[in-house]
Amino acid sequence: MKKEFYYVKETSNKYQIKVFLISLIALIILTGAIIAFVSSFDKLMVSFPQLNSIKEVISNEINNLTPAGLFFVGFSGSLFFVPIAQEIFFYYSLIKGNSILVSFITINAGFFLAQIVNYFLGSKLNKFFFSFISKRKLYKARRFINKHGGIGVFLFNFLPLPAPLLTFALGIARYNIYRLLFYTLLGTTLKYAVMILFYLAVT
């Protein structure tokens, strides 16, 4: 039986430079737009006190480390572009006397929602990153990840490592999302279980 061969067409250097320049210009425009939006938003909150009230409520929830505040920390701190050590917030919430079970559920709810966002963004930017990276190397890396990625996902979520950034990268590589969520759940569950046991041991 005759085997079929598939050839991967590499992106030319000229095209990579073109995409890089366009991306740089787009980034500059986006940064300027964000700065303009933030400054306008501050003025908008003066005109609409309700918006300022919402902001204050969320800030108070986070500052007081309530279960709702842990959800916001778990979500915002787990986005790949806003790295925050949410484990510290979780431990301090236990010290403040919050329910262990409720704190565990809320911070993980925010964390998993952020991981879905990270994976989704990575998968949507897949073609964009293909323009910069050698496709042969990327497909080789994808095969390695599909074979050994579970252990890496577990360790990144169990240890204090940048798991959100890994999730974003696995989205680019189109890693199996069900395996990703399974090993993510396993790693984070054991991590917080160890933290809870440590807290109970010292109190």
pLDDT in tens, 17-43: 666 676 667 667 767 766 666 666 666
The model scores a pTM over 0.95: no
Cα–Cα dist 200/203, whole Å:
5
Cα–Cα dist 142/8, whole Å:
14
Tell me, what's the pLDDT at 59?
Answer: 80
Tell me, what's the pLDDT at 111?
Answer: 92
Q: How many helices (H) and strands (E) does the chain have?
A: 9, 0
Please indicate whether residue 202 or residue 28 has the higher confidence score (pLDDT).
202
pLDDT at 4 over 60: no
Tell me, what's the pLDDT at 56?
Answer: 75
Tell me, what's the pLDDT at 6?
Answer: 44
pLDDT at 7 over 50: no
pLDDT at 84 over 50: yes
pLDDT band (50, 70, 90) for residue 47: low
**Residues of the chain above pLDDT 90, percent:** 24
pLDDT in tens, 142-199: 666 667 678 888 988 998 888 888 888 888 878 888 889 999 999 999 999 999 999 9
